[in-house]
Structure formats: structure tokens, C-alpha cells
Structure 1
Amino acid sequence: MPIVELTDVSKSYGSNVLFQGVNLAIEDGRIYGLRGPNGSGKSVLFRLMTGFVLPDTGSITIDPRYRDPRNTFPQEFGIVIDRPGYMAGRTGLDNLLSLAQIRGVIGEAEVREAMRGFGLDPDSSTKVGRYSLGMKQKLSLVQATMEGQRVLILDEPFNALDHSSSEALRERLATHRESGGTVVMTSHNEGDFAVLADEIHEIDRGTLIHTR
């Protein structure tokens, strides 16, 4: 079965109808590109897919492999939506260690390795509140991948990254797919979709159109 399947999903906020009768199936081992203009609802669609927001009508089904009946949200999902909030007065390492303690599946050594993999120094004394936009973006990507998450839901993952960091992320996402992982991502850069996406879906007036 699909990892995530949306069936006739509709979602409105007041009089603003974002989605009407949306259908989408996310399969293992593929990269999905989602595009649409600002305000079209890309972030809301990601929140629907991950259980942070419930649909008004329709259903969203998550493969039982990724569900724990004790938890509301899916397991093995790495999520970057509107950049996670961090404790500005603590270092990047301290923030990530606090997150790692929630599930307890990795320790400090794995967190340090994940940070170095994205070009962040785990021994830096710089507090997150003083991070540049690019460093904050890297920190978000570390938290989404440091536990070996198999399904990555990434809203603008290339935002604020320099050229070399963007190239490294493209290679990382392609390798993730080759190992059987799944990625659903947005990007304002068509080049990211051209290089990575197996499928592209476009939000058009509240519906999803499969464009490739």
C-alpha cells in the first residue's frame, strides 16, 4: 500500500477553500515534487499528510509500518515545514540532543556525525539565535534526517543554502531514494525538480494536477 494516501481530501479556512477533492498516493523509493504559487497551500498539504492538520472531508491513510498506536504522528518521518522552532539561547548540538531524547534511538555520537554531514560544527559555542539563515536551514535538515528517517517531507529544503550545500543536498536526497527512501519536497527552483523528481504535482485552484 502507499506510504501516504489522500482520498477526496478537502480543506478550508473560513471562506478560503485551499483544497477540494484532492487525491494523491505517495509510494516507497520515489521523490515527489510539489509546486504552486505562494499561498496555494503547499505547507498545509504537508501538514495534512503528516497529521498536524485534519481534513474537513475525505481521508488520509498512512501505511501501518509508519504508525504507532501510542502516538498521533507517523514514525520514521523526517519533517521540515516552516522551519522548526529552536531554543535560541542554546547551541545547535544542545537543541538536537534535546530532540534526540524524545525517541531515544540515537545518541550524541550520531547527532554529532549528522551535524558534520551538513557542514555544521557540533563543538561550536554559537547559539542558534545567532545562526545565519543557511545554518538554521542546515539545522532543520539535520533534525529531519539524523534518526535515519525513511520518509522525508521537506518544505523548501534548498532555501538559503549556498551552491555547494545545495549540490550536497541533491546528492544526499538522490542517495536516499536509491536506498529505498521517499522524499516529498517543494522548491521554487525548477532545476531541483528536473534533477531529482520522479513525479511532479502542481496545485491549481484547489486541486492537484500530475504534470510529470
Structure 2
Amino acid sequence: MYLELTDIRKKIGADEVLSGITLSMERGKVYGLQGKNGCGKSMLMRVICGLVLPTVGEVKIDGKILGKEFSFPPSVGVFIEKPGFLDSYSGFQNLMMLASIKGQISGAEVKDVLKRVGLQDVMYKKYRKYSLGMKQKLGIAAAIMEKPELIILDEPSNALDEKSEEILWQIVGEEKERGALILISCHTTETLEKVSDEIFRMDMGQIKEHMTV
């Protein structure tokens, strides 16, 4: 997978929340987005995964224009803000419901991904009884379970304890080795430097700095 963004701009009313963003990313790498709340990280992620169309500019995936030649990336896993899981379903049932849409993975594979994120002991517990950390892990599991080519994780370490965060970054490394293109947002530069190949620092809707780690 090769991802290209050309002069991406997004206006909401009179406000330009993304301004002149041009960058490229390729498979088998982890890219970090760093910046304060409101700098445009989440909006940029929504544009990349097709949830929001840019006002100006193009997003190309393997040469095809997102929003014109296809509506969403053909192989993507997304964790942005609060996933819409059903309170009355268990973690396992929620993932099985999502997996049934494409029919690409089995129940055994769903159980495996729940074990990977550390939810093996609570996979049959109702979602409404999950702690914030458990809900975070389930969202991460949903993003990676179908082995997508593009993985987008917005602040995935929020509400995770130290051990769970270590597991998260181990998973990110494994997905990178598998050949996925991974985009992660995080406030902490130190954390991003540990897990990323390249970091884009954002401010006021613009890429202010591009660092190779």
C-alpha cells in the first residue's frame, strides 16, 4: 500500500481545520501524528480513512482517488474516539457482529485477537460492564482483527495501564512486520519516537515538522 495526500484542506464553516497538507506513507512503517488537542490530528485521520471528504485536495491509495474511485480504503482498520459497541453484547459478540459484515475471519480468529489485546478473561462479559481500559482494548482489537493493510489508531494508549500499553506497542510492532501501514496519534513525543519510523508534528491544522526517527 502507498498513501499520498496532496494539498489537503478542510473547512468547517469559516474555519480551515486542515491546511495544505501534503505527505506520503508506505506499507511496513509506523507513522506518528503528534500535537495538542484541536491541532487537526483526528480530522486528518478521518480524511485518510474516508469518513470525511476534504474541501480541497486528494487522498490517493495505490494511485486511486479516495472519494471518487472508491468510498473507503479497501483494507482498513480504524480506532478513532469511542467505537459504537452494543452495551448488551459481550466483547466477543460485538466483534463477531463486526466480523460478519465482511465474513473474512472465524470465531476462533476473533478469540485470538481478544487474547492478543489481553481480554481473554472478559471476552464473554457484557460491554456495559467493561472498564475504560477494557473498552479501549476492544476498540484496538476491532481495528486489527481482519489484518488490514492500513491501521489508524487515534490515541490508542488512553486509559491503558503500563502493562497493557506495552502489549499495545508490541502489537503495533507485529502489525508493522506483517506489512501494514500504521498511523498513530499520541500527545507524547517520547512514546512516538519509540514506536514510529517517521513523525509528523501538527499545529493549527498544518504539518509543522517531519522527523525521521
**TM-score in terms of structure 1 length:** 0.91
Q: Report the CA distance between 1:170 and its aligned residue.
A: 1.1
Matches of 2:121 and 2:70 in 1, distance apart? 30
Question: Match for residue 4 of structure 1?
Answer: 3
Unaligned segments of structure 2, at least 5 residues: none
Report what 2:36 is aligned to: 37
- Following superposition, the deviation at residue 83 of structure 1 comes to 2.5
Deviation at 1:209? 2.5
- How many residue pairs get aligned? The number is 210
Structure 1 match to 2:144? 145
Counterpart secondary structure, 1:102: helix
Q: Deviations over 1:12-59 (max 9, x none)?
A: 111221112110111111111101111112111001001110011111
- What is the deviation of 1:150? 2.3
Return the letter of the residue paired with 2:4: E
Residue 156 of structure 2: aligned partner: 157
Q: Deviations over 1:52-72 (max 9, x none)?
A: 10011111111269x8x9962
In 1, are the aligned partners of 2:34 and 2:189 still within 8 Å (CA)?
A: no
Indicate yes or no: 2:46 matched with 1:19.
no
Superposed CA RMSD in Å reads 2.1
Provide closer, same or farther for how the CA distance between residues 122 and 113 of structure 1 changes in structure 2, counting only shifts above 3 A.
farther
| Long gaps (5+) in structure 1 | none
C-alpha distance in 2 between matches for 1:70 and 1:207? 26
Q: Distance in 1 between matches of 2:128 and 2:27?
A: 36
Determine helix, strand or coil for the equivalent of 2:207.
strand
- Structure 2 counterpart SS, 1:79: strand
Q: Higher mean Cα deviation, 2-11 or 154-163?
A: 2-11
Residue matched to 2:113:
114
CA distance in 1, matches of 2:158, 2:102: 28
Q: Which runs of 4 or more aligned residues in structure 1 lie more than 3 Å from their structure 2 counterparts after TM superposition?
A: 122-125
C-alpha distance 64-57 of structure 1, shift in aligned 2 (>3 A) = closer
SS in 2 for 1:211: strand
Instruction: Kindly provide the amino acid, as one letter, of the partner of residue 27 in structure 2.
Output: D
Offset, 1:103: 0.4
Partner of 1:195: 194
Between the aligned partners of 2:196 and 2:11, the Cα distance in structure 1 is 28
Q: Could you say what secondary structure the match of 1:193 adopts?
A: helix
Q: Give the % identical residues.
A: 38
Q: Is the 8 A contact 1:105 1:147 kept in 2?
A: yes
Distance 1:70 1:207, change over 3 A: closer
Structure 1 position 193, deviation (Å) = 0.9
Match for residue 172 of structure 2? 173
Structure-2 residue corresponding to 1:89: 88
Cα distance in 2 between the residues matched to 1:172 and 1:53: 27
> 1:182: which partner in 2?
181
* Deviations, residues 82-137 of structure 1 (Å, cap 9, x unaligned): 12111111111111000000000001111011101111137644211121010000
- Is 2:133 aligned against 1:134? yes
Return 126-135 or 176-185, whichever deviates more.
176-185
Is the contact between residue 93 and residue 122 of structure 1 (CA under 8 Å) also seen in structure 2? no
How far apart are the structure 2 equivalents of 1:124 and 1:10?
41
The answer to whether the Cα contact below 8 Å between 2:77 and 2:144 also exists between their aligned partners in 1 is: yes
Distance in 2 between the 1:206 and 1:116 partners?
Answer: 37
Deviates more, 1:31-40 or 1:168-177: 168-177
